[in-house]
Amino acid sequence: MNETATSSGGSDSQATASSASQSVTALVGGAATTSGANGTASSTTSSALAVNTAPCNNYPEFCNRKYSNITEVCAHNSAFSITNNAASNQQLTITQQLNDGVRMLQGETHWVNNTVYSCHSSCDLLNAGTWQSELETIVSWLEQNPLDVVTFLIVNSNFAAGTTVTNYTAAIEASGIRQYLYEPTYVPQHREQWPTLGEMILSGKRVVMFMDYNADQTTVPYVLDEFTHMFETPFSPTNQTFPCTLQRPPGATTAHAEANLMYIANHNLNLAIDVGAITGDASAESILIPQTSTINITNGAENQYGRLGAMSDNCTVEWNRPPTFLLVDYYNVGLPGPGSVFEVAAKANGVTYNRQCCGASSTSAAAAAPQARRSYVALMAALVFAVVLTR
């Protein structure tokens, strides 16, 4: 990523988008309360509310919470679950991720031969197929799960070469996901201006799509500019300190971020591979792959050094509210066991995690890290092959 890319993340100006008002039946989660962490609503009310037992994003309590007032797990590079490829960031498929409770999908994309592909660093290194096929998978899941709101963050890897949001619209239309995409009332929409999950579900607009660079909400209002709506802690970390400091957008002030923006806590530990040492090319840049040898510790629920539980607690203190999204690799691996990342999110939300995790097989989580380590040799071979091809 080029941190010097321009962004309007520091701007506090807003425009009101035109939208038709509609009357919907309230889908609520019970009496509204407030708390220091993610509460059930923005304010208390004395009027009696019907108790809802239908879950919104797996919890009835979430139905009357604002979209921006819930902590969700984000599967980093969600589509990169390629067997025996150490550049993969996940073991389980997108469908399994959503079934397990992941509610933010994210992924690096590349514009190649007039088509958007889901690729890691290079399509020669890891190619998960077309981005449209990824969206079609999400649409199929949404059709079977009408009470869920899903977020997708597009990583536009070719933004510096001029690839913009308009290069993505054909895949959006062809996949069928356009009908679900939420368009905000304000541009940008500040944290306290978001609707509740219940309101979004009843309106049918249950997918929020962001793009990191070269979004244009005037031209394409249903793909939101990430950095005017949220900030990120340092991305692609290679050490276990996992600071909660604001890294992107570089122009945003702490005061603006704290008052108006949601945020992503990047908690994916990486290992830097010196490609030059492998290929003999001194000019070759290093690449980052997931540090799988300690993934269970990294995804641990406890408030201990280097673990997700500690980062969530630390960021909550630093920003006076929990992270909106917890970005992780191999979400299905953790301590004290599978599902630890969801335990961290549940703690931030003030609810109890009692679901079964993860995937179709109870042994899948235990096998994830060794499988990724075995694929290291395959990755090195692919790197050498890719370098040879470019010479």
Burial code (b: 16+ CB inside 10 Å, e: under 16) for 32-51 equals beeeebbbbbeeeeeeeeee
Which one of the listed residues 110, 120, 229, 267 is annotated catalytic?
120
d(CA 157, CA 144): 31
d(CA 318, CA 310): 12
d(CA 152, CA 8): 20
Whose tokens are 């190619």? That residue is 127
Is 190 noted as a catalytic residue in this protein? no
Nearest CA to 349 out of 31, 27, 34, 37 is that of 37
Could you give the angle at the alpha carbon of 171 between the alpha carbons of 167 and 175, nearest 5°? 165
The answer to whether residues 291 and 271 touch, using CB atoms and an 8 Å cutoff, is yes
Which one of the listed residues 76, 110, 190, 256 is annotated catalytic?
76
d(CA 138, CA 178): 12
Strands 207-211 and 115-120: unpaired
Is 110 noted as a catalytic residue in this protein? no
Nearest CA to 176 out of 133, 223, 208, 119 is that of 133
Q: Which residues are catalytic?
A: 76, 120
